[in-house]
Amino acid sequence: MEGLQSKKEPVLGFEVDLFTFEEALQCVHNALKENRSMHIVTINPEMITNGNKNDEFGRVLNEADLTIPDGVGIKLALKVKGINQEVVPGVDFSKRLIGICALEGYTIGLLGAKEEIVQKAAANLRNEFENLNITYIRNGYFDEQQEDIIRGELTEIAPRVLFVALGSPKQELFISKLKQKMPRTIFIGVGGSFDVWSGCVKRAPEIYQKMGLEWLYRTVKEPSRFKRIFPALPLFLIQVIIETIQQKIKQA
Ligand code: UDP
C-alpha cells in the first residue's frame, strides 16, 4: 500500500489489514488517484467461518487487496491476539468513499438489493452528494442468463467504483469473476448497505454503534439474524483463542 505502512494479522487463516478507518480510506484514495483496480472485503466472523468451509470463497477472500475489519467480532478476535483494532464499518466506509468520488469526479455503480431499494438509495445519494455521477444501477435479483448480461454491461460502462450489495459470499464471488475484466474498477462488497442508504433499514442509535453493540440492536429488530450469530460467533471466538494459544506454545 503505497505511502502507508501495511500491517496485517491472520485470523483463522485470513489476513486482516490493521488500518484505521482513515488509513484504509487513504489506501483506496491512493488506488483511485493511481488508476488502480482493487477488491475491498469488509470481513466479519461469518465470512471467515464460511471461507474455511468453502475453498472457492476462501481463495477469493485471500486474493482481496484490502480486508477491512467490519464489526465487533473481528475486533474481539484481534483483542484475543493482543491487538487493539478500531472497527471500520463497511457501510460508513463506503459512504465516505462515495463522498470522495463525488468530490473528485469518479463514477460509481450500484449493484444489488431489491429494485425499489437500490433506486431509493441512488436517489438519496444523489441528494446528499451534489456532483455524484452514478453510471450504473441494477437490482441484485437475477438468474444466470441475466448475470451474463449484467457482466457485459458493467464491463462496458466500467464505473470507477462498484458497490456490490448481494450479501456474502455471493457478492465476493461475483466480484472475483468480474475483476479481471475490469482492470480500472475498485470493487467493494457492501452487504445490506443499500437498505440503509435507502432509508428502509435504520442503523442502531449512535450509542449502540459506539459501544460495539450494533449487532445486538439489529438482532432485536430482526430476530431472524439470531441464528446467524449464535452459535457461530462464540464458536469463532473459541477457535481464535485456541489458535492464539497454539501460536504462543509454538513461540515458547
Ligand atoms: N441481496 C441481493 N440479491 C440476492 C440476495 C441478497 O441483492 O440474491 C441483497 C439483499 O436484498 C440485501 C443484501 O443483499 O440488500 C444483503 O443484506 P444482508 O443484510 O444479508 O448482508 P450482510 O451485510 O449481513 O452480509
The confidence score (pLDDT) of residue 154 equals 98
Q: Judge whether 48 lies within some domain.
A: yes
The confidence score (pLDDT) of residue 226 equals 87
Residues 169, 53: Cα–Cα separation, whole Å: 12
Q: Judge whether 148 lies within some domain.
A: yes
- Does the beta carbon of 191 sit less than 6 angstroms from any atom of ligand 1? yes
The confidence score (pLDDT) of residue 3 equals 61
- Number of structural domains (the chain) is 1
- Does the beta carbon of 114 sit less than 6 angstroms from any atom of ligand 1? yes
Residues 28, 104: Cα–Cα separation, whole Å: 13
- Does the beta carbon of 151 sit less than 6 angstroms from any atom of ligand 1? no
Nearest residue by C-alpha to atom 14 in ligand 1: 166
Give the three cell numbers for residue 79: 483483542
Q: Which amino acid is at 35?
A: N
Q: Judge whether 140 lies within some domain.
A: yes
pLDDT (tens, 9 = 90+) of the chain, 252 residues, equals: 546 777 999 999 999 999 999 999 999 999 999 999 999 999 999 999 999 999 999 999 999 999 999 989 999 999 999 999 999 999 999 999 999 999 999 999 999 999 999 999 999 999 999 999 999 999 999 999 999 999 999 999 999 999 999 999 999 999 999 999 999 999 999 999 999 999 999 999 999 998 888 988 989 988 998 888 888 899 999 999 999 999 999 998
Q: How far is the CA of 140 from the centre of ligand 1 (A)?
A: 8
Q: Which atom of ligand 1 is nearest to the CA of 171?
A: 14
Residue-range definition of the domain harbouring residue 72: 8-247
Q: How far is the CA of 238 from the centre of ligand 1 (A)?
A: 27
Nearest to 27 by CA among 86, 87, 93, 108: 93
Residue 131, burial from CB neighbour count under 10 angstroms (0-12, 13-18, 19+): exposed
Q: Judge whether 43 lies within some domain.
A: yes
Q: Judge whether 3 lies within some domain.
A: no
- Does the beta carbon of 25 sit less than 6 angstroms from any atom of ligand 1? no
What's the Cα-to-Cα distance from 16 to each of 63, 66, 72, 74, 243, rounded to whole Å?
Answer: 12, 8, 14, 9, 15
Residues 69, 63: Cα–Cα separation, whole Å: 16
Q: Judge whether 242 lies within some domain.
A: yes
Nearest residue by C-alpha to atom 18 in ligand 1: 192
The residue whose CB lies within 8 Å of the most ligand 1 atoms, and thus the one to mutate among 91, 166, 198, 203, is 166
Q: Judge whether 56 lies within some domain.
A: yes
The confidence score (pLDDT) of residue 252 equals 87
Q: Judge whether 195 lies within some domain.
A: yes
- Does the beta carbon of 168 sit less than 6 angstroms from any atom of ligand 1? yes
